[in-house]
Structure 1
């Protein structure tokens, strides 16, 4: 399954990034997550998970750092 098939067309999603064995959980817009994954496919510098079934309240997670950069604005 690709990210485009899983991601909703809009709204927020739970993104988990694994970097050097450390886990970072973020909330991001679906558009930013889609663009992040697109960039990641060009050069895989970490592991990324899209968390579908989560008990975490997305409002409690921090926003993806520099999320605006992945929105193209």
Structure 2
């Protein structure tokens, strides 16, 4: 997974997580998503998508559950 040049340095992003056949859309801080992706690279336990076209509408989505856990070291 790459974030390319469009991944904002700060703020919120739209992250989509696939667990089996279930899809979950969330808003999370870029720092939390970077840490989530770092954790995911160690063991692929789901599929993660970063949705670019909805970055402006992230306020309409629920926050990533336990987002604070991904903000720590």
Question: 1:1-73 maps to which residues of 2 (within 5 A)?
Answer: 2-3=2-3, 5-54=5-54, 57-72=57-72
* Structure 1: segments with no counterpart, 5+ residues: none
1:56–1:11 CA distance, 2 compared to 1 (3 A): closer
Structure 1 consecutive aligned stretches of length 4 or more whose deviation exceeds 4 Å: none
> CA-to-partner distance for each residue in 1:11-53, whole Å, 9 max, x for gaps?
0000000001110000000000000000000000000000011
- Kindly report the root-mean-square deviation, in angstroms, between the aligned alpha carbons of the 2 structures: 2.1
TM norm structure 1? 0.88
Instruction: Give the paired residue count.
Output: 73
* Structure 2: segments with no counterpart, 5+ residues: none
Partner Cα separation in structure 2 for residue 32 and residue 61 of structure 1: 16
